[in-house]
Amino acid sequence: MKTPYLYFGRKGYYVQAGVAPTSNVAALTAITNANGGMLPIVKANTVIPDTYGYRVLHRAVDAVDDKRGTDYTTDFVTGELFSSATAWGADKNQDDIQAGQVTHLSDASAFIVGSGDQVITIGDNTATGGTVGSDATNGITMTTNDFVYVEEFQFNAGVLPIATIGADACFPATSLIGIEPLGYTAGAGLHYDQTAVDKTRLIFKSGDADRTVDTVDIIHTGGKFKEICEAMEDLCNSTVYDEMVKVHYLDASGQKLHNAFVSRGINVHGVILTLQNRA
Amino acid sequence: MYFNMADPVASSWVDDGNMYRSTSLMAMNSTAAGGATMYFEAIHNGHFDAPDDIVLAVDASGDDEADRANRVTAMDAMVSKANTRNREGFVVAYSEIENVKPGGITGITVTLDS
């Protein structure tokens, strides 16, 4: 019996509430394959984050003055100047944070990542800098109502795994057991652009041969569970037999998502692979 | 799907030649730089607690992106083999003897569940 084979590459996506700085730094919870689908490698404060294929974004919920590094001049989502009185409806400087603003922490000294612990530590925007070495130009001082997003956007050795178990997976379509809608509550259930986010689990008969399952968790545009089921039904009934059907993966140029998803208005923010007991 | 990983003149054939129904191919994934693994139901021992593994070796001398692409190409080739129907005989997925090495695969390593 011929069957399509479905290929998934992981994509890291991690969201958590803001952390108030202690001694001028705010350490996030450790990112794991389970909670974020990625393992960022150690990063010193001399490395530009984007060169590692991921970005850290701050979405403000609270409006606070003088809490953002002055290197950050424009909103990552809208492109509006932070200093624009027209856009933000107030006479503000670019270091003043207003609710809804998204800051891309793109400076080398904005944050560091520990060796082997996947803990992102963000420096505040005071002159003292703390262990991160941030200052008034590149740090940010969060509140606990804000949110931090860590988003992988490119296949890059700066975020693991890239070649070991958990990096990708291929299953015969006949192994698809079911699809389960899951809630996604991190970030108040919102992407950094404030669109709704949901998570859907694809459940496959495990490649391990034991009586267990492998799962592919897709974090995606909210309210699209039915459309994902339709897309998977399309792919499973396709007649592509001479190569894998590439459902989702990252390569060096960015994200690749099958048109069965794109055409249904589904954006994929993250893909987490859980493969049982591979030896 | 028939696999041969070594010249039998220089080997004992133990683990060197294997055949599986393509429907026994349960999954594939990357397992190392220059390596992807196929997992088959371990039909030889009649129980189901772990798979038989066939590791596909590919060139990893390039950069990470080239390595990724080589692994994907190797898995693509095995999908094509798994979906090939040959009514005149079995499908040779990989063979050192016959020099059938699709998808840039340079070698295989077979590990049977025990």
**In whole numbers, what is the pLDDT of chain B averaged over residues?**
88
C-alpha closest to that of A61 among A139, A148, A135: A148
Q: Does this model's pTM top 0.90?
A: yes
Which residues of chain B does A277 touch, with a Cβ-Cβ cutoff of 8 Å? 50
A279 and B75 within 8 Å at the Cβ level: the answer is no
C-alpha closest to that of A149 among A190, A88, A196: A190
pLDDT at B11: 57
Asked whether the predicted pLDDT for residue B43 surpasses 70, the reply is: no
pLDDT band, residue B49 (cuts 50/70/90): confident
CA-based nearest residue in chain A for residue B80:
A242
Asked whether the predicted pLDDT for residue A211 surpasses 70, the reply is: yes
Q: Are B81 and A242 in contact (CB under 8 A)?
A: no
Half-sphere exposure of B47 (CA within 13 A, CB side): 4
Provide the 8-state DSSP code for A11: B
* CB pairs < 8 Å spanning A and B: 113
Q: Are B52 and B40 in contact (CB under 8 A)?
A: yes
Whole-complex ipTM: 0.93
Which residues of chain A does B91 touch, with a Cβ-Cβ cutoff of 8 Å? none
C-alpha closest to that of B25 among B82, B65, B106, B76: B82
B10 or A30, greater pLDDT: A30
pLDDT at B113: 80
Alpha helices in chain A (DSSP H): 33-36, 85-88, 225-236, 259-262
Which of A209, A210, A243 is nearest residue B76 as measured by Cβ atoms? A243
Domain borders along chain A are 5-11+164-274, 13-154
CA-based nearest residue in chain A for residue B22:
A1
Q: How close, in Å, is residue B11 to chain A by CA atoms?
A: 25
B51 and A208 within 8 Å at the Cβ level: the answer is yes
Cα A210 to Cα A277, A278, B41, distances in angstroms:
9, 10, 9
Give one DSSP letter per residue of A43-56, joined into a string: B-TTS-GGGGTEEE
Provide the 8-state DSSP code for A108: G
Asked whether the predicted pLDDT for residue A45 surpasses 60, the reply is: yes
pLDDT at B12: 63
Q: Is A156 on the interface with B (CB under 8 A)?
A: yes
Mean pLDDT, rounded, for B95-112:
91
Asked whether the predicted pLDDT for residue A278 surpasses 80, the reply is: no
